[in-house]
Amino acid sequence: MTPFSLLLLPGDGIGPEIVEVAQLVIENIASISGRDIVIDREIAGGASIDQFGHPLRPVVLEKARQSDAVLIGAMGGPQWDFLPTDRRAAIALLTLRKELGLFANIRPVRAFPALLDASSLRPEIVRNVDMVIVRELVGGIYFGEPRGIEELVGGGKRGFNTETYSSDEVSRIGETAFELAKLRSGRVHSVDKANVLEASVVWRDAITNLHLAKFSDVDLDHMFVDNAAMQLVRDPKQFDVIVTGNIFGDILSDCAAMLSGSIGILPSASIGAKPSKGRRQGLYEPVHGTAPDIAGQGLANPIGTILSAAMMFEMSCDMPEEARLIEHAVEAALESGARTKDIANSGEFISTREMGEEIVRQIHVIASI
């Protein structure tokens, strides 16, 4: 097989620590499988601003375009928030998603049996939770125009953003959600705010029409976003696949993270249209942020990044068995009692690196069986 090209963008805060551990896992999987994985490293986000004055240099964007996959740690931090909007660290991530055509963000949420006591909800509420949030990624209020800040006559300012969706944009993300549901339990909840927002009226109509035309074998329910937020903590097991817009998906996926016990263990994949042939390019990253308050202390949980690498092996690398191997190794590490501080419940915990090494150890144990 031709080599698989991977671009690593460690990012800021805890990003370099967790990407280093994920790279260790990736290299061990490559060694076990015999797959040739060519790894390149670059900087983007705040680190790139400090060194080059811009969050995403053209050379890095071009490397991303030429790679089969991009694995990111996390980007941003308060020290760059004062910059103009188009120069902030987060622009690097938004630009990568937009320029690579990665319109669908896939965020699995699973409650590991070993971590039921880590959730802020009762174990009987979160036990067996297994859902996927499919978030539209390149439209909505984050990209809508007009946007800006204007000075008001007499003093003060007015900020404005535009929530906008076309039926084609909605149908595209809807296809992704329905196809995924057909591989799972066959249930989709489409989340919007159609009782208030015209953009959501278009969203609901497009999802309904797509369902009738192509996916009537999948169960579809519509839900307002405020109700969905409540239902996530009241009865999360009712959900299989949730499909929603950019801002709603951003908020709901962080809310859902606590079902698993920590945002630090949740992965994500940003993907585009499936090509007729060749590999499906993707951008893979943990759901959490840069956590600058613990950066460099070995306290970060690398599991979200490691599971993002597992998604990469399945979705871009066509190595589903290796993806399952990583997932089983993570579960085995948790069952053995390995805990980083965020999931230790005030008990003993191990470092970022030690968690990665334990997962690698479990990979080799499972691979040898």
pLDDT in tens, 292-318: 999 999 999 999 999 999 999 999 999
Kindly tell me if the per-residue pLDDT of 276 is higher than 90.
no
Residue 237 catalytic?
no
User: DSSP letter at 237?
Assistant: G
Catalytic residue among 193, 284, 341, 342: 193
Active-site pick, 130, 219, 254, 318 = 254
Average pLDDT over residues 158-175: 97
Over residues 9-33, mean pLDDT = 96
Report the half-sphere exposure of 62 (CA within 13 A, side-chain side): 3
pLDDT digits (tens, 9 = 90+) for 58-79: 999 999 999 999 999 999 999 9
β-strand pairing of 69-74 with 219-224: unpaired
Q: Given a cut of 90, is residue 277 above it in pLDDT?
A: no
Q: Where are the alpha helices (DSSP H) in 215-297?
A: 225-234, 246-257
What is the predicted pLDDT for the residue at 67? 95
The DSSP 8-state label assigned to residue 2 in this structure reads P
The per-residue pLDDT for 55 is: 95
Angstrom distance (rounded) from CA 260 to CA 129: 8
User: SS3 of 246, please?
Assistant: helix
Of 50, 117, 205, 226, which is the active-site residue?
226
Residue the block writes with tokens 């125009």: 145
- Condensed to tens digits (0 to 9), the pLDDT of residues 221-264 reads 999 999 999 999 999 999 999 999 999 999 999 889 889 888 88
Mean pLDDT of the chain: 94
Preceding peptide of 302 cis, ω within 30°: no
Q: Decide: helix, strand or coil at residue 16.
A: helix
Q: Is 193 a catalytic residue?
A: yes
Q: Is 142 a catalytic residue?
A: yes
Q: 250 catalytic, yes or no?
A: yes
The contacts of residue 351 (CB under 8 Å, 6+ apart) are: 298, 299, 340
Query: pLDDT digits over 186-197, tens only?
Result: 999 999 999 999
pLDDT band at 172 (very low <50, low <70, confident <90, very high): very high
- Residues 141 and 248: their CA atoms lie apart, in Å, by 10
Domains and CATH numbers, the chain: 1-103+281-369 (3.40.718.10), 105-271 (3.40.718.10)
Q: What is the pLDDT of residue 192?
A: 98
Q: Would you say the C-alpha torsion 65, 67, 68, 70 has a positive or negative sign?
A: negative
Higher pLDDT: 119 or 226? It is: 226
Contact 249, 136 (CB under 8 A): yes
Instruction: Report the percentage of the chain scoring pLDDT > 70.
Output: 99
Q: Which two tokens stand for residue 227?
A: 């109700």
Catalytic residue among 12, 68, 142, 165: 142
Structure confidence by residue, pLDDT tens digits, 27-52: 999 999 999 999 999 999 999 999 99
Contacts of 139 (CB under 8 A, 6+ apart): 103, 164, 165, 166, 169, 245, 246
Given a cut of 80, whether residue 97 has pLDDT beyond it is yes
**How do residues 204-225 score in pLDDT, each as one tens digit?**
999 999 999 999 999 999 999 9
Give Cα separations from 311 to 230, 298, 342 (angstroms).
28, 24, 23
pLDDT at residue 345, as a whole number: 83
**DSSP class of 344:** S
Q: What angle do CA 209, 109, 129 make, to 5 degrees?
A: 95
CB count within 10 Å of CB 364 equals: 13
Which among 225, 257, 278, 283 has a CA at the least distance from the CA of 342?
257
Helix (H, G, I), strand (E, B) or coil at 361: helix
Spot the catalytic one: 12, 68, 192, 250.
250
Question: Measuring CA to CA, how many Å separate 285 from each of 208, 237, 308?
Answer: 31, 25, 6
CA nearest 207: which of 182, 164, 174?
A: 174
DSSP string for residues in 33-54: HT--EEEEE---THHHHHHHSS
The pTM (predicted TM-score) of the whole model is 0.91
For 322-366, how does the pLDDT look when each residue is reduced to its tens digit (9 = 90+)?
999 999 999 999 999 999 999 998 789 999 999 999 999 999 999
| Whether the predicted pLDDT of 143 surpasses 80 | yes
165 annotated active-site: no
